[in-house]
Chains A and B, each alone.
Chain A
Amino acid sequence: MLEGLLIGVENVFDFSSLAAIALGVLWGIIGGMIPGINATIAMALLLPFTWGMEPVNAILLLAGVYCGGEYGGSIPAILIGTPGTTAAAATTIDGYELHKQGKTGIALGTSLISSSFGGFLSALVLMFVAIPLASVALKFGPSEYFALAIAGLTLICSLGGRNVFKGLLAGAIGIFVATIGYDPMNGIPRYTFGSLHLADGFEMIALMMGLFAVSELLSQAQELSGDAEFNIVGEVDTRLPGWNVIKTFLPTSFFSSLMGVVIGAMPGVGASTACWVAYSETKRWSKDGDTFGKGNIKGVAAPEAANNAVTGGALVPLLALGIPGSNSTAIMLGALMIHNVQPGPLLFTRQPEIPYSIFISLLVANIFMLIMGYFIVKLAIKVTKISKPILFASIMTLVFTGSFAYSGETFSILVTIGFGLLGYLMKKFTIPYTATVLGFVLGFIMEANLRRALLISKGNWTEALFNSGISTTLIILAVLAFVGTTYQNLKKPVDIDTSVKA
């Protein structure tokens, strides 16, 4: 182990390696900031350049991009209410709210520090417990995935503020939208009305940009058209958080990072799920949980720590099992295989320089990210000084370009507009569209795994639902959360005016 780490240090602390990591992080942050480009796409764009590089440098470059990309998405999430990547969707809830309250610097600083912290911690976890963590990931089969999705979905109940039914309605819309496209078990297209564009279902990024960005632009533009001040935000505080603030969210970052690492290690679920689970659990266990959605910095710290902690977790199955659990790690696998490096159980004995260099590079990348992020945030915060009409027009361009660039289909732009209008209407009726996004993200995982579990148990529901201690615990937790929230809401009369505009 120590010997391996020394080889890693030797490989990483070399000018070309450090330059590769720095370049990767910078490219990743920029990519993450642009809606429509996530860590995976940013890595794919660099892939051809890695073919001529030394295998270690190639993988360090990609590792840098991976870290930076998972962080970059939070910057537009906070500044313009548009998550740059699907992993930053949960950050939008409190991050954008903080920005609207003028606490922009605090929000951006929290996201940067929490992201770097999450990434750093996950690299340490990967370094020391990759093998045991891989066996935890193996314990998750269809039943456990289903239970995890159900536990995550209970957040829907509380997203609607006092009115639990609005949350359920919004969540149901999301779950319904997730069923559009191929049936995961028998391959038959559902609700596609014969349109080939719907055969693969909706692109998550196009849907999110509609619900988050377009709907926000529409409602803000409407406010502008009245006599309202052009500059709604007014003066923003661009100062980054000090230690007294940082220490309040560090425990949140710590626990969210652990959740992120574990979720990252499970194949098939990644950062876009981790951010919601961390947000939901932090809200559930925090004493000030009811201030989530109203600009609580823990609501920024939790998803950001989790989505960056996914980086270390996602490398667990890749390095320890030789199985890529996500698109990003599949690209890393491709980059390694092209250099004749086969990740898997034998990698640590055959080519120890590769895994240990990755461990060290992830630590370095997250430190680089903290430094580079500081300067990028200082620059990006100036967006707030742009006059609203110009800013809105630019965001609209960016959003449409992004949804087109991601899929290469003009149909995606229509999807973005469609969900933008839906989001706008939901805002009008104070229905939390964030619950729709959550339903969409978890709906498919939930459905496919429940049906898979039932196939395995030959139709026995008890066996499918309570297959193991993990699934039983998660389902009980979910039922308690649902009953608890509903009971609390029923006690109080529903008052529409005080419903939280999520």
Chain B
Amino acid sequence: MFKSKKVKVLLALLLVFVMFAAVGCGGKQEAPKEEPKKEEVKKWPEKDITLIYHSKAGSGGDMFLRALAKALEPGFGKSVIVDNKPGAAGATAWKAALDAKDGHTFLGVSSTLITAPIMNKMDVDYKSFKPIAMMFVDPMILFVRSDSPWATWEDFVKDAQANPGKFNIAGGIPGELGFVAAKLLQEKADININVVPFEGGADATVAVLGGHVDGAIGEYGEAVAQLDAGELKALIAFNKVSGVDIPTVEDKGYNFLVEKFRGVVAHPDTPDAVVDQWEAACKAALEDPGFKQYYTNLKLNVVFKNKADFVKVMEEQDKQIRAFMK
């Protein structure tokens, strides 16, 4: 009779245990090594590797990291464990990654690492970490219903210039990258549209389909089903979408770049040799058949950038967002 109660309590305890175990893996069992010599660096990794991420299990970024971890394991010869630390707008994960000085804890990042610290005035940001590599970009596009009067981007610009502020375009919340993209696009194309913030790409896509707004700026992946079915059409893309022919902002001569990235960074004390080893491993992972299938199926765009170029992307994005938050 106590059984069912006990089972429930046990399950809950088990869950907590698993969580602590996961934390423990990245944890502080080992004192930080002092000044590792060259020979020792070569032997890295000495134990299992932890990849911390700021959102919950099952989120898009989490699935990307888990697939990457699988592809990295053979090369490193150790397990790569993804540890989700959601909360505090990302700060929980980022602070945990800074606190872990075991040399085996790394951090999966997205553009949130740029936006959240600015919005929340955090004392941790992208500069707190050593970049390893940028791997993917979630391409953003501006899309409208197929039955809308605009056949091309030029049609839309002409109409928007003739009717300033008339057209409602669903977009992100100020401080999000989608919002920055909308601002820059208006500036460069010299148009004035009414950007209506939506919380998620799904809601925005539905609002376009239902005719509640005239169009939306969102991720290509969130509209792909309707684009394929011919219900929606893309007028312009902020980033090149591989395998699909959508004119990009670059094609139209607008000189700006907004990239929703996914990448990996390291603790600032990580030896350069280890960072280089990681950078090479990330590049090699892109050729792993399982990982390749994963990102092709999910229609992720591979945009590999080494650590030096990755910093530039983050610096540029930091500037773009700060410019619009004043």
A380 at the interface (CB under 8 A from B): yes
Pairwise interchain contact A268-B209, C-beta atoms closer than 8 A = no
Using a CB-CB cutoff of 8 Å, which residues 276-297 of chain B contact chain A?
Answer: 293-294, 297
Pairwise interchain contact A345-B19, C-beta atoms closer than 8 A = no
Residues of A within 8 A of B168 (CB): 455-456
Contact A409/B197 with A187-B175, A321-B226, A323-B202 known, Cβ cut-off 8 Å? no
CB distance from A112 to the nearest CB of B (A): 15
Contact A456/B12 with A321-B226, A379-B4, A448-B199 known, Cβ cut-off 8 Å? no
Pairwise interchain contact A398-B225, C-beta atoms closer than 8 A = no
CB distance from A193 to the nearest CB of B (A): 12
CB distance from A113 to the nearest CB of B (A): 20
Count residues of chain A with CB under 8 A from any CB of chain B. 75
Residues of B within 8 A of A448 (CB): 199
Pairwise interchain contact B210-A185, C-beta atoms closer than 8 A = no
Q: Which 8 pairs, one residue from A and one from B, show the smallest C-beta to C-beta distance?
A: A322-B225, A344-B225, A141-B212, A44-B58, A138-B210, A345-B229, A196-B88, A187-B175
Residues of B at under 8 Å CB distance from A? 1-5, 8-9, 11-13, 15-16, 19, 56-58, 60, 63, 66, 84-89, 91-92, 119-122, 165, 168, 173-176, 179, 194, 196-200, 202-203, 205-207, 209-213, 222, 224-226, 228-229, 231, 293-294, 297-298
Q: Which of A290-298, A334-342, A487-495 forms contacts with chain B?
A: A334-342
Most buried by B among A30, A321, A383, A458: A321
Pairwise interchain contact A331-B225, C-beta atoms closer than 8 A = no
Which of A138, A342, A382 is within 8 Å of B4, CB to CB? A382
Using a CB-CB cutoff of 8 Å, which residues 177-197 of chain A contact chain B?
Answer: 182, 184-189, 194, 196-197
CA distance A456 to B13 in the complex (A): 49
The total of interchain contacts (Cβ-Cβ below 8 angstroms) comes to 194
CA distance A408 to B88 in the complex (A): 11
Residue of B nearest to A35 (CB): B12
Pairwise interchain contact A184-B16, C-beta atoms closer than 8 A = no
Pairwise interchain contact B12-A398, C-beta atoms closer than 8 A = yes
Residues of A at under 8 Å CB distance from B? 30, 33-34, 36-37, 40-41, 43-45, 47-48, 137-142, 182, 184-189, 194, 196-197, 199-200, 267-268, 317, 321-325, 327, 330-331, 334, 337-340, 342-346, 376, 379-380, 382-383, 385-386, 391, 394, 397-398, 401-402, 404-405, 407-409, 411, 448, 452, 455-456, 458
Which of B1, B19, B209, B211 is within 8 Å of A385, CB to CB? B1
Residues of B within 8 A of A401 (CB): 12-13, 15-16
CB distance from B174 to the nearest CB of A (A): 4
CA distance A184 to B57 in the complex (A): 24
